[in-house]
Homo-oligomer: A and B are copies of this chain.
Amino acid sequence: MATESGYDREAVRAVLDRARSEGRSALTAPEGKALAEAYGIPIPGEALATSADEAVSLAVELGLPVVAKIVSPEILHKTDAGGVEVGLSSAEEVKAAYQRIVDNARAYDPKATIEGVQVQQMVGGGQEVLIGATTDPTFGKVVVFGLGGVLVEVLKDVSFRLAPVSAEEARAQIGDIKAAEVLTGVRGSEPVDTDRLADVITRLSDLVTDFPEISEADLNPVFASGSGSVAADLRFVLDFDPAQPPKRFTTEEILASMNRIFKPRSIAVIGASNEQGKIGNSVMRNIVDGGYAGQVYPINPKADEVYGRTSYSTIADAPDGIDVAIFTIPAKFVPAALEEAGRRGVAGAILIPSGFAETGEQDLQDEVLAIARRHGVRLLGPNIYGYYYTPEHLSATFCTPYDVAGGTALTSQSGGIGMAILGYSRSTSTGVSAIVGVGNKADIDEDDLLTFFGQDDNTNAIAMHLEDLKDGRAFVQAAREVVPRKPVVVLKAGRTSAGARAAGSHTGALAGDDKVYDDILRQAGVVRAPGLNELLEYGRALPVLPTPAGENVVIITGAGGSGVLLSDAVVDNGLSLMEIPPDLDESFRAFIPPFGAAGNPVDITGGEPPSTYEKTIRLGLEDPRVHALILGYWHTIVTPPMVFAELVADVVGQARAAGIDKPVVASLSGDTEVEAASAHLFKHGVVAYPYTTEKPVQVLGAKYRWARSAGLL
């Protein structure tokens, strides 16, 4: 019976229940057909023949030519069993094929139940594509789309989306494959009706979403043409005992805990120590020296005082109002201490020690998590360096304090990467709201942190290093919430098979197929950093750059050679060089020498005084048709680096004061003074780098990718 959505869920339920009762993990072709019909997935006309004569009369009824296929619950790979014949175009051929198929099947598997032979309209023409669904360990149900055929199999040109997909998402998924142009009708072939093709993807995605026990589905081939898309073959695999996703908290629950963890009234340091070199000593010192304004209670039964603060034997003896307990004791002592902290009602336990799942002690980690759950305590870690939150002057870490406050929140799954974040931030004076280590992620995961940073007014951009996601679906949901408000950058380590193997030996994380991650993170609007350096750079620069209001990018350069490289970088980063309208071109030309080149890049040529840079940049800023500027500077005696930097900072500052807030990035070519000039520009809101034409454009590209995902363009 069809429901209001047009889907006949009861029919599917009946098929699946029967399979379950029979202990089967696969469906027969007629069962698959029933599922397709129930969800409106177009399939060729077909019927089951239980004799050669019946096959002939069905073939005539459906229309010749036909395809004949064995129907047996035990035979999944029908072709291997000699159970498929195609192009049967006469009654005699159908009759003979029926007999051969049944004989082949018996020879292939004498124990197989042979229910008959399916006679199917022969479809073809149009473009062969495949549509599938699978159950990803990280993301759950995902749908896949690709062209059919040998070539695409070799080139692995497919695209993934999280199920269910809307019609719009399915169209984007179709357009996402490299060979998508084939579907638009090249060399005079008929264009595919992509709306109808997208509809098949949507329907399959709904089917696997409504019935999670369908662990895999393959529609392959689907013949897609201008008049529709027909799934010529279907395959369904079932799993009635799927893995359960980790516990999920509501947004309110997450925020209640996270607000207390990042803005604690007071903090207990369990294992605080006076002994230099001990983690419990470093953490105490860093919290106090970092300038945290709340109370810090050392917990150490062997000391009266630690770093000038009264020490307590257990957290039970400490004063009220403790929101966070930081554990700096060996792993084996954590359960008992966490039990006590839980009884005191802390919101967060920061588990710095290692010696849990990463060294094979999964049971200990599970025990600790169970204690935390019982008390409603959220765990950060274990196996982490701790966390920083600059708005509260909080450096709860054994590293060193960090106090350059700003808009970027950074997280890392690995301690080594955390140290790179800290060093790089310090070296470049990156304004940071938070740096957080998540380590083994026994509990708090990137989605919890995204949820917090998403609503945190101190955070303008979020940059995350991760090797896996415990709950990819929760992450995507959190990202979708946050992306419209601020950029989310992700460095996914373990992109390659070698990297994933390394991740496996590191945290026991199962690094998923990178293409799945890539497509689904993009679908969620996440900006992916290709490497560590880009994660750090995007994190540093994205909050500095204003959001562009449109796609028109203009390059203004003093060095033609930089203009060429900057143009290459524009294309590499998916940006569009504005086609400069004649009147604007005329205006640029008025400022530059006759042998300079207007157009885009605007090449003002090398020997120009500061005023030429100034006038052309001002023009680019003030013309409302221009949305972003890329500057190429060439060190000359006439316009030295710091003169350029100061004039650009001034012009951009004046424009911003007048309400014109466009992203401006700069590449500085010159002697070493360009380093200080770049730093000056960065400080004044112009993302500038020396000795590279790629990086400024790459950062602008990341800003654009985010702005498009956020729906701001």
Residues of A within 8 A of B (CB): 147, 149-155, 157, 178-179, 181-182, 186-187, 189, 277, 282, 354, 358-360, 399-400, 412-417, 419-420, 422-424, 426-427, 465, 467, 491, 493-503, 505-507, 530-533, 536, 555, 557-572, 577, 594-595, 597, 599, 601, 603, 606-607, 632, 634-635, 637, 669-675, 690-695
Q: What are 10 A-B pairs at a CB distance below 8 A?
A: A354-B606, A358-B595, A416-B606, A417-B559, A423-B670, A423-B672, A491-B565, A494-B567, A502-B555, A531-B694
Residues of B contacting A179 in the complex (Cβ-Cβ under 8 angstroms)? 151, 154-155
| Known A416-B561, A420-B691, A423-B672; further 5 A-B contacts with Cβ < 8 A | A413-B561, A423-B691, A499-B568, A502-B567, A531-B693
Chain B: minimal CB distance from A441 (Å): 13
On whether the beta carbons of B150 and A182 are closer than 8 Å, the reply is yes
Tell me the complex Cα distance, A569–B493, Å.
10
Chain B: minimal CB distance from A557 (Å): 8
**Which of A181, A501, A568, A577 is the most central at the interface, judged by chain B CB atoms within 10 Å of its CB?**
A568
Residues of B contacting A695 in the complex (Cβ-Cβ under 8 angstroms)? 533
On whether the beta carbons of A422 and B564 are closer than 8 Å, the reply is no
Residues of B contacting A506 in the complex (Cβ-Cβ under 8 angstroms)? 560-561, 563-564, 597, 603
The residue of chain B having its C-beta at the shortest distance from the C-beta of A638 within the complex is B277
Chain B: minimal CB distance from A187 (Å): 6
Residues of B contacting A599 in the complex (Cβ-Cβ under 8 angstroms)? 501, 505
Residues of B contacting A505 in the complex (Cβ-Cβ under 8 angstroms)? 560, 563, 597, 599, 601, 603
The residue of chain B having its C-beta at the shortest distance from the C-beta of A505 within the complex is B597
On whether the beta carbons of A186 and B560 are closer than 8 Å, the reply is no
**Which of A359, A500, A693 is the most central at the interface, judged by chain B CB atoms within 10 Å of its CB?**
A693
On whether the beta carbons of A359 and B426 are closer than 8 Å, the reply is no
The residue of chain B having its C-beta at the shortest distance from the C-beta of A495 within the complex is B568
Residues of B contacting A564 in the complex (Cβ-Cβ under 8 angstroms)? 414, 467, 493-494, 499-500, 502-503, 506
The residue of chain B having its C-beta at the shortest distance from the C-beta of A511 within the complex is B564
On whether the beta carbons of A415 and B568 are closer than 8 Å, the reply is no
The residue of chain B having its C-beta at the shortest distance from the C-beta of A555 within the complex is B502
On whether the beta carbons of B150 and A152 are closer than 8 Å, the reply is no
On whether the beta carbons of B561 and A414 are closer than 8 Å, the reply is yes
On whether the beta carbons of B691 and A498 are closer than 8 Å, the reply is no
Q: A423-B672, A426-B671, A427-B672 are contacts. A561–B496 as well, Cβ < 8 Å?
A: no
Tell me the complex Cα distance, A599–B690, Å.
39
Q: A154-B182, A506-B597, A671-B399 are contacts. A531–B565 as well, Cβ < 8 Å?
A: yes
Tell me the complex Cα distance, A186–B150, Å.
7
Tell me the complex Cα distance, A502–B495, Å.
35
On whether the beta carbons of B502 and A672 are closer than 8 Å, the reply is no
Residues of B contacting A601 in the complex (Cβ-Cβ under 8 angstroms)? 502, 505
On whether the beta carbons of A570 and B498 are closer than 8 Å, the reply is yes
On whether the beta carbons of A493 and B423 are closer than 8 Å, the reply is no
On whether the beta carbons of B400 and A671 are closer than 8 Å, the reply is yes
Q: Which 5 A-B pairs have the closest CB atoms?
A: A414-B561, A416-B559, A359-B595, A506-B560, A499-B568
